[in-house]
Structure 1
Amino acid sequence: MAETTCCGLRTCCYRPDPENDIIEGTFEIDHSPRICLLPTQRSVAIQIYSSDKVDPHTRIGLESKKAHLQKWKINRKPSIIQYKLNFEVVRGFGSPGAFAVENRGRHEFFLKSATFKYNSPVPDGEEEDFFFRCASWVYPLDKTGVKRIFFINQLYLPDRTPPGLVALRKKELKKLRGRGLKDERQPWDRIYEYDCYNDLGDPDNSPEYARPILGGSKEYPYPRRLRTGRPLSQHDHMTESRPVGCFRTFVPPDERLSPKKQEQLRDNFVNALVRFLTPKSDQPPQSYQECPNLIQKILHFFVPKSAFSTADFSMIQSIVDFVLRKPKPPSHQDTQSLDSIDDIVAIFSDKQVKEMDKRVKQKLKKLVPAEIFNQVVDATTKRNVLNSQSPSIMAENQYDCFDDDEFGRQMLAGTNPVRIRSLKEFSPREDSLPESLKLIQEEKEEDDELFILEHDDYLLPFLSMINAKGVCAYATRTILLSRWNDKLTPIAIELRLPDSNMVLGRNDDRWDLAKAHVAANDAAHHQLVSHWLHTHAVIEPFIIATRRQLSVMHPIHWLLDPHFKDTLHINALARGIFLNAGGILERTLFTGEFSMRLSSHVYKQWRFDEQALPKDLEKRGMAEKAKEKVFEIKEKPAENTGEEDLAKKTENVAERDEGVAEIDENVAERHEGVAETDQNVADLDEGVAETDENVVERDEGVAETDQNVVELDENPATPDEKVTFPAGVKLLLEDYPYAKDGIEIWDAIETWVRAYCQIFYKSDRSVRNDEEIRDWWEEIRSVGHVDQEKGWYDLTTLDNLVRALTTLIWITSGMHAAVNFGQYAYAGWPPNRPMLLRKFIPKEGTQEYDDMLQDPEKFFVKMLPEKFEMEFVIAVMDLLSRHTSDEEFLGQRPPDNMWKENKHDYLSRRTSDDSCLDQRPPDQMRKENEEVNEKFEEFRERLRKIEGNILERNKRYNLSNRWGYAKIPYKLLYPDTSKTKGPSEEKEDICGRGIPNSISI
């Protein structure tokens, strides 16, 4: 029946057909101050599609009549606007499974959610809500050219899709893949395509900013990025031109940072730059402190604030300074001499800021976007008093970082704990063999373990070019040993240049200088490889493939979506500010303009399967596969019943009372007698094996644990039952904080992923039959990571699917948190992690060597970057270590009811094409929903137990690698599922605590 109206604006005269049903829809639109875009009356039409009934002409679900957004009211939250609409549908329409939005207005708007329900009785008792989580922008039709489709918040494998949604599901994915056009992408385009890294150079600006294309060649392999389609540069038709502003680079609307987060990131960066780059003013008298504020208030009374510029206020301020005889700041403030560690400490002192020196402004203007620079300059006129929290590594004592044990500890618990490896077989180069072996023999005892930190093979091909740019860099290898307390102590450092080699030991006067060069190598590897390449860059192709090949209704899309939040936008900003030619990393790292080429060189050895934490630890020799232990109870002869009575204990109860532990049914009974143990002592051959809730297997095959190991199974092991380790590996060093905490996090993620996948995949065959998963994985391997052929799972089994998904979630959550959020704590103190060095190590017998002996501290400080470079790096470390207020954390429920259970009973679905039917009965679908919620709660509870384990371990001072000389508790892998910040006696870094779900900073 055609819609009739009494006027062109309202449908008040229309009466629905009494033979039809009415579905009431409620739509929530974001009207927060940062969005403030609302559709005008009748500019937006909405139409519902049935998931059960198929229109034989369109081959999609039956359509409702169109309804228009008209009347609205404010929700309980003032930022949410609610629209109520009635949709007329034919009797027997069934369940709403999708709806289309046709925006014929002039502005986009943000649709948060939609809920539908029948307002009259229908067959089979359809009474519950049909919930749609939208959380997406709806752009005008004249820009997009297509209607916006949203699907119900229910998960379906492709072959279980309801018949009315099959065609819509395929159509939506096809739109997201684009049409292969080469035009530039616009802000409203929801298109995901791949491209090489041809956007780093800027040859139109200057030939010195030309950079090679990364990806698509054997010389420079690399993961793919999101295509933007910007025009090619005029001077190099292979390189993409730079965007007008780095904040305007294209990412699809649903991938953008929220306006609130963008504002917070800008404010954090501006505040950090002002805090560390502005000179410290002398303390003025109280009248002087009040005068600027008073002048500002008077001026603003007569002149609108918007009309009063920074230059105007600076002029007034200069007059005040003259009247009060305020001395002018010294010229060349940014290049003032630094002669001691105390001069660097002064950077962190509280101060009342004043205007930047002109030379500092000129340098800063080349490093940051114009928007950031202007805000920094404006902020320096306000003369606020700024407080700076010192980086944790120097908060106790600025010299703590020079301790050898602290240097070794940071290889296990610092910002780059993923490079150290066990040295089972020492085979140094022939030219350094005698010196290295001599140093090792002097230090090593019989039971000591050797380890090595290598930064040589990947650096050597670039070293001559790097040093030709005015920095002083070596390719280093560091030998460390560990004794009974798991401390790593460096004993020999090999420093290599293309034409020479040097090996230094701990007794050498130049030892601290050698460690500084190792730290510089490790800092560059951390930024370019461990942080950027192994988390940000390698994940981007997975995100693109997920959007292109997995429907939003696919269970795996739902599982991965929280772990991809904001990453594409963060990566785009990184390419425009940090990684680009002349960007922050090129200006601050010793690798300079060769930084990304070095990253490409390392990508040649990257393998996806080795990104799994257990595999990574095994490869580096830091863990080995744990052997399963079977506990069994042997029959006892009658004459030994007395001893047998002594050995009887309770069923696996780890009862602790003043150091006495009662053993449980996991006890290996011995014929000779019973050995009583305390809570953490292993049973030897003549004694009794005692375990905690989770057993850690020792070399003798006896299960041993401490009180902090996460519980592996809710039910204790029984006789003849196998007891395994977290993730099936045993650590070589128990006091390896990154690995100890990380392996528990990994095991919890893997358990959750396996339980989740088993809800939807009942066998390996169901995995093989999933066409979307098959296309997804093939596209990742053949397009997104086409330059890397090795290290890919055969995704035809449930086990391999679980491994792949666990690895992805680990990379985006735990691994990124471990290498990112400790940057200010460690690299915020330049003597600990210098980004570049300006002097080589002096040779004996030279004047430079004598100068170093005369004043070692001054010589060391002169090796470090200039004052401006140090201050700028500190500000960047501050920015990168901060969480934002809208961060989502591991183990927290997704926002906006992402998994809101649809409890309605689904109508019968019978068509001629049974292959498209969802064969699950309503009860089974409700059960699946409940299982997902139940398993997620188990995952969250598991993380809470891990939090307790980490807190307990951090209280144990005998675990020295968790604290070190600087007394920094290791919290980089503390999940913090509650996010409550109560009073704490422990020192907090600016980064706080918590593992974000995604790479969102």
Structure 2
Amino acid sequence: MVCVCDYSEMWENLVGCVCGKIKDEPSISIGQQQKKKIKGIVVLKKKNVMDVTDIRASLVDRIHELLGKGISLQLVSSHSAGPGKVGKEAYLEDWVPKLTSLNAEDDALYDVSLDWDESLGVPGALIVRNQHHSQVYLKTVRLEDVHGQGPLHFLCDSWVYPAHRYTHDRVFFTNETYLPADTPEPLLFYRQQELMSLRGTGAGMLKEWDRVYDYAYYSDLGMPEKGHRYARPVLGGPDYPYPRRARTGRKPNKKDPNTESRLFLLSLNSYVPNDERFNQVKFADFIGYALKSIGQVIVPEVKALLDKTINEFDTFEDILRLYEGGVKLPDAHSLKNIRQCVPWELVRELIRSDGERFLKFPVPDVIKGDKSAWRTDEEFGREMLAGVNPVVIQRLQEFPPRSTLDREQYGHQDSSITRDHLHKNMNGLTVDEAMEKNKMFILDHHDALMPYLRRINSTTTKTYATRTILLLQPDGTLKPLAIELSLPHEDGDALGAISQVFTPCDHGVGSAIWQLAKAYVAVNDSGYHQLISHWLNTHAVIEPFVIATNRQLSTLHPIHKLLKPHFRDTIHINALARQILINAGGVLEITVFPARYAMEMSSFIYRNWNFTEHALPVDLIKRGVAVPDQSHPYGLKLLIEDYPFAVDGLEIWNAIEAWVTEYCCIYYPATDDEVRGDTELQSWWKELREVGHGDLKDKPWWPKMETRAELIQSCTIVIWVASALHAAVNFGQYPYAGYLPNRPTVSRRFMPKPNTDEFAELESNPDLAYLKTITAQLQTLLGVSLIEILSRHSRDEIYLGQRDNPEWTSDGRALEAFERFSVALVEIEKRIKERNEDKTLKNRYGVVEIPYMLLYPNTSDYTREGGLTGKGIPNSISI
């Protein structure tokens, strides 16, 4: 879309002669030395394009141009002695009369002519000063034919605020790559000064124009001023260890000085380093979809209405109407109480123009082909290998399963499942025979939940800690054999667990009981997935890497260039999560069973986090689903051959590892001394361990970063976690959990006991009993809204094997290696598609007929599609 500026004709008449004079300015001589004119093209976005409501910015900036306050560029030599000598300032041309688009996806291009003394050699940096009233987003600067060596590229990708906002000039480097010791001497000063600017002072409240990357505890989740129900412990430190998040510097809460004050509930303006914020396209998409997830604001009012009418689903058909026609609500007049507490625009977004229905969701894949196939035992087992949380299943290596919880504190917590429970469904095998043949597997959520279960069940939640034992069938599927439901002893934790064991049944009330037992397992798995597999093990653990990389590795550093694409938008999405999702009373606490103990429980589990175990081969071997075997690809043998996440994941892992290896060998080609002698790299790794993940700094598993192999291992893990692992546990949420009966997030009552009204209801109407047990209607609406947002790809997503700019480096060796990586990913995707078409691989498709596409890397048929594609690996944790 091309937009004619409202003021264009006026400004053309006023300043046409001025612009012409600038363009015709001749070369300038200093002394006897003739300066060469270097022509350049500057690509940027104006603030009035990125924020179309700010007409004032456009007007004032044009006035500033007339007064000689433009945007200037100044080249810095990379070959002079001492700090690089600089050329004469030059200003962007034609700012006033140039017509620019209001489309956020369109760039504005400006010419610039810079004087340069060729005796100073090739420029290595660019000083940019913005004398305008408002900021601009500077994307790239391309200089033509510099020093006879062809074009020179500066990849800026940064907001440049008015110069008075900065202590130091904004400096951008060319796309050259240098280790610290190899940096041309004239650039060293600027390299070090830029890093110091990014570290900040560690004090004060950070403003939008600040570019500071710093660390803080998770002290911004609670709202103690609202009472003890909204107080939350600070996560980080010896009592509640946790990864660090980006500091905002907001003032302490008046009620509790250890808690940071929070913004207004719906505010999305929490401080994020400005170059880490969503771009306009991404933010527009996010806001548009997030309008459905307004639970924190209207929950009290909507709940009051729905409790009197439709807060329970009476039948599965009621749930299907969410996708087929929405939910009937009272008319607008009846919603007047809601209108008093939230903007009416938000309510209007949720209801049709006739006021009858709202929240009509897309049909989740799990019920597209068959509305009841999700109930089968085969699908129950398959989703542990190819569903939204395929990273927990383990091989059963001792029987009965043993707990690792402290016996003095928690008593006897070992499993009460016996051989007699299992043998009747084991196809003639004994437990010992099946274990010897590596055919016994377990989904074990017992130890993770039991320490918090008493407190969790003191809320409206009523759930169990579960263990599920499964048998690997000859056709490669997993058959559930028994489910154990455990509660803390009613007389105290130290007395151990009280457990019940349930086995499959396909008729009568026994069938209904078995369906309920599977529902409790799904509740456990949903909560663990959202809090641990997804939030903690991808979002939270990667944020310290983003901070440390920006603080300690210059943009000239090869490892900064390697990792930068995998950090896009992560700090911003995490800040939004702390503001509206994982905070006290947030959407996650409302919709997932641990409720107010959710984040505290994730801290308990973080104690056992191990960075090196997030290497996929190490993870698979640790969980016992693979064994080391050098005769097999990747040096291991999968014990479940048809394990879609592992099969596809190993190919992706291997491609990432090969790319990282080839890249690192370019810059550390000779000995490990090059790694040990890299001052920025060593500072990066030290800060990451001792500050970013400081609560675990003394763990012996941390790589020492003394060898190239350790560098390759660490970078491969970071890229894998930020890209493929996150894709595997995130983008399948709506396809599988968008239909809440398949993945309930809450259970509200315990298993019915014989001779009770609840048991009688289970016998007479098992569907109604199931629905009364799992997630209630209001929580379902909020939960499905949330996962619909989280499962969407942005239209501007950049996928694995892609870069946002082909000139990201000037090093041809790195570009060639990256091209090989991209080609390898295309070939991997072809092989994944071939496997999905192989009907003998039952776990890839299942009775619900969903092909496993979550680890499709990046082919062009959906690269710019966005939305609920259910496929594709973005470079970074961006949603």
Identify which of 774, 778, 783 aligns with 1:873: 783
Secondary structure, in 3 states, of the residue corresponding to 2:424? helix
Match of 1:948 among 808, 827, 830: 830
Alignment of 1:125-204 (within 5 A): 126-181=148-203, 183-204=204-225
Stretch deviating more after TM superposition (939-948 or 188-197): 939-948
Q: CA deviation at 1:796?
A: 1.0
User: Secondary structure at 2:534's aligned position in 1?
Assistant: helix
| Matched residue SS, 1:33 | helix
Choose from 499, 510, 528 the match for 1:501: 499
Structure-1 residue corresponding to 2:688: 780
Correspondent of 2:126 among 90, 99, 115: 99
Residue 108 in 1 paired to residue 125 in 2?
no
Q: Distance in 1 between matches of 2:708 and 2:255?
A: 50
| Aligned counterpart in structure 2 of residue 481 of structure 1, from 471, 490, 515 | 471
Q: Counterpart in 1 of 2:275?
A: 254
**Offset, 1:375:** 5.8
Secondary structure class of the residue paired with 2:378: helix
Q: Once structures 1 and 2 are overlaid, which stretch shifts more, 550-559 or 394-403?
A: 394-403
Superposition map of 1:726-875 within 5 A:
726=634, 728-762=635-669, 763-788=671-696, 789-790=698-699, 791-875=701-785
Unaligned runs of 5+ in 2: 1-16, 300-304, 403-411, 490-497
Change in 2 beyond 3 A, CA 1:936/1:896: closer
Aligned-partner Cα distance in 1 for 2:363–2:338 = 25
Distance 1:364 1:519, change over 3 A: farther
Give the RMSD, CA atoms, in angstroms.
3.0
* Separation (CA, whole Å) in 2 of partners of 1:600 and 1:885: 34
Change (3 A) 1:222 1:371: farther
Cα pair 2:587 2:782 within 8 Å, conserved: no
The equivalent residue for 2:875 is: 997
* Deviation of the 1:812 alpha carbon: 0.6
Q: Distance in 1 between matches of 2:448 and 2:831?
A: 38
Q: Structure 1 residues 976, 46: CA separation in 2 closer, same or farther (over 3 Å shift)?
A: closer
1:687 alignment partner in structure 2: none
Count of residues in correspondence between the two structures: 802
Is the 1:825–1:989 contact (alpha carbons within 8 Å) kept by the matching residues of 2? no
Structure-1 separation of matches of 2:337 and 2:288: 21
Q: Choose which of 31, 38, 41 in structure 2 pairs with 1:26.
A: 41
Residue by residue, what CA displacement relative to the aligned partner does 1:670-690 show, whole Å, maximum 9, x if unpaired? xxxxxxxxxxxxxxxxxxxxx
Deviation at residue 872 of structure 1 after TM alignment: 1.9
Contact 2:180 2:680 in 1 (8 A): yes
Q: After TM superposition, give the deviation of residue 766 of structure 1 in Å.
A: 1.2
CA distances 1:668-724 after superposition (whole Å, capped 9, x unpaired):
xxxxxxxxxxxxxxxxxxxxxxxxxxxxx4xxxxxxxxxxxxxxxxxxxxxxxxxxx
CA distance in 1, matches of 2:84, 2:115: 15
Instruction: Give 1:382 deviation, angstroms.
Output: 7.7
TM-score, normalisation: structure 2: 0.86
Q: Which amino acid in structure 2 is aligned with residue 344 of structure 1?
A: I
- C-alpha displacement of 1:378: 7.7
Deviation at 1:468, TM superposition (A): 0.9
Q: Which of 435, 440, 451 is the aligned partner of 1:450?
A: 440
Shift in Å, 1:769: 1.3
Q: CA deviation at 1:982?
A: 12
Report Cα offsets for 1:225-269 as digits up to 9, x if no partner.
Answer: 000000111100110000235301000110000122111111123
- How far apart in 2 are the matches of 1:458 and 1:77? 53
Q: How does 1:420-819 map to 2 (within 5 A)?
A: 420-428=393-401, 435-444=417-426, 445=429, 446-447=433-434, 449-499=439-489, 500-507=498-505, 508-509=510-511, 510-628=513-631, 697=632, 725-726=633-634, 728-762=635-669, 763-788=671-696, 789-790=698-699, 791-819=701-729
> What is the one-letter code of the residue matched to 1:620?
R
Q: 1:334 to 1:941 in 2, by over 3 A?
A: farther
Partner deviation per Cα, 1:517-561 (whole Å, 9 max, x = no partner): 010000000000000000000000000000000000111101111
Tell me, yes or no, if the aligned pair for 2:400 and 2:418 is still in contact at 8 Å: no
Q: Cα 1:820–1:619, aligned 2, differ >3 Å: closer, same or farther?
A: same
Shift of 1:379: 6.4
Render the CA deviation track for 1:844-873: whole Å, top value 9, x for unaligned: 343432331222122111112222221221
Residue 236 of structure 1: aligned partner: 256
Given that 1:99 and 1:151 are in contact with CA atoms closer than 8 Å, whether structure 2 keeps it comes out as yes
Report the alpha carbon displacement of residue 438 of structure 1 after superposing the two structures with TM.
1.1
Whole-angstrom distance in 1 between the partners of 2:307 and 2:332:
7
Separation (CA, whole Å) in 1 of partners of 2:337 and 2:742: 28
Aligned to 2:319: 344
Structure of greater Rg: 1
Question: Which SS does the other structure have where 2:655 is aligned?
Answer: helix
Q: CA deviation at 1:82?
A: 3.1
Q: Contact 2:321–2:327 (CA<8 Å) still a contact in 1?
A: no
Letter of the 1:772 counterpart: E
Aligned to 2:78: 51
Distance in 2 between residues matched to 1:144 and 1:466, nearest whole Å = 49
| 8 Å CA contact retained: 1:28, 1:81 | yes
* Structure 1 gaps, min length 5: 1-5, 279-329, 629-696, 698-724, 902-928
CA offset at residue 177 of structure 1? 0.5
* Aligned counterparts of 1:162 and 1:260: Cα–Cα separation in 2: 38
Give SS of 2:190's match.
helix
Q: Secondary structure at the match of 2:124?
A: strand
Alpha-carbon distance change, 622 to 84 in structure 1, aligned in 2, over 3 angstroms = same
Give the 3 Å change call, closer, same or farther, for CA 538–363 of structure 1 in structure 2.
Answer: farther
Give the C-alpha shift of residue 342 in structure 1: 1.8
When residues 490 and 187 of structure 1 are mapped into structure 2, their CA distance, relative to the original with a 3 A threshold, is same
Residue 627 (structure 1) shift: 2.3
> What's the CA shift for 1:896?
3.4
Counterpart residue identity of residue 216, structure 1:
G
**Mapping of residues 82-93 of structure 1, within 5 Å:** 82-93=109-120
Percent identical across equivalent pairs?
40
Q: Aligned partners of 1:731 and 1:817: how far apart in 2?
A: 21
Partner of 2:379: 406
Per-residue CA deviations over 1:325-374 (Å, capped at 9, x if unaligned) read xxxxx9867525432222211221136987767888978999xx969835
For each residue in 1:159-195, what CA deviation from the matched residue of structure 2 results, as whole angstroms up to 9, or x when unmatched? 11112111110111011101222x1100000001100
User: Could you tell me how far 1:773 is from its partner in structure 2?
Assistant: 0.7
Change (3 A) 1:69 1:336: closer
Q: Is the 8 A contact 1:391 1:824 kept in 2?
A: yes
Q: Structure 2: how far apart are the matches of 1:387 and 1:207?
A: 36
The SS at the match of 2:80 is: strand
For 1:783, the aligned partner's letter is V
Q: Sort the Cα spacing of 1:982 and 1:63 in 2 relative to 1 into closer, same or farther, 3 A.
A: closer
Change (3 A) 1:139 1:494: same
Name the CA distance, whole Å, in 2 between partners of 1:138 and 1:982: 28
Q: Using the alignment, how far apart are the partners of 1:618 and 1:216 within structure 2?
A: 31
Instruction: Name the CA distance, whole Å, in 2 between partners of 1:356 and 1:414.
Output: 39
Following the alignment from structure 2 to structure 1, what is the Cα–Cα distance between the partners of residues 100 and 576?
36
- Aligned AA for 1:61? G
CA contact (8 A) 2:78 2:184 kept: yes
AA partner of residue 180 (structure 1):
G
Q: Is the 8 A contact 1:198 1:213 kept in 2?
A: yes
What's the counterpart of residue 930 of structure 1? 812
One-letter amino acid matched to 1:49: V
Check whether the contact 2:79–2:184 (CA below 8 A) recurs between aligned residues: yes
Q: TM-score scaled by structure 1? A: 0.76
CA contact (8 A) 2:136 2:161 kept: yes
